[in-house]
Structure 1
């Protein structure tokens, strides 16, 4: 004997499938929104690391400056006691004879989106 679903059972199964599909769609949308929010927060943190690297680099360079000789720091020659992100371009130069500081270092996290540039006064400018 062949069994078939009655009308009431068919409606119940249809409602169950409809509920499952709509719940899956809502969960999918929520997961997409969570992924976007996570990526945005991650980018913000990577950019913050680059900005802090710029600030700490300038302060470490200033703390190593003395009146005994000229100083030069860049991505390959970092100041002592500096263990943060090195600049990817530019340098910090201190000349004793003219007591002048020249700084044009640029910082960017390899996975970040913004570039932070230092000037000779220690100000940080941002470019996208």
Structure 2
């Protein structure tokens, strides 16, 4: 099973708690958008970390233009996610829902908390890296 599929599915479960039904497409669309946004932030975090470790001056350029770069990266990820989930695997969320329901409640809770913690860590790490770059630039 693809990790990205699980990630999108878990975000889907947060927005569509009842069994997959007639509103599943709206929740799927919203979960793809949220997943793309979080993956875009994750890629920016990795880029910042690499540039800070190599002491590259490019990090200051990226920091000044980070909103635009973040939007472009997120938009590209959205396009790939939509193509993947709507053209290649249309029923991926329904299949994941069936497998997810076979898990024990404890395993489901652990998976949800790992997802929540990973999302929080990505957002907080990107914020801290932005502040650190500001401190270096001053």
TM-score, shorter chain, exceeding 0.5:
no
Which has the larger Rg? 1
TM range (shorter): 0.3 to 0.5
Q: With a CA cutoff of 8 Å and minimum separation of 6, indicate the structure with the bigger relative contact order.
A: 2
TM-score, length of structure 2 as denominator length? 0.32
TM-score, length of structure 1 as denominator length? 0.34
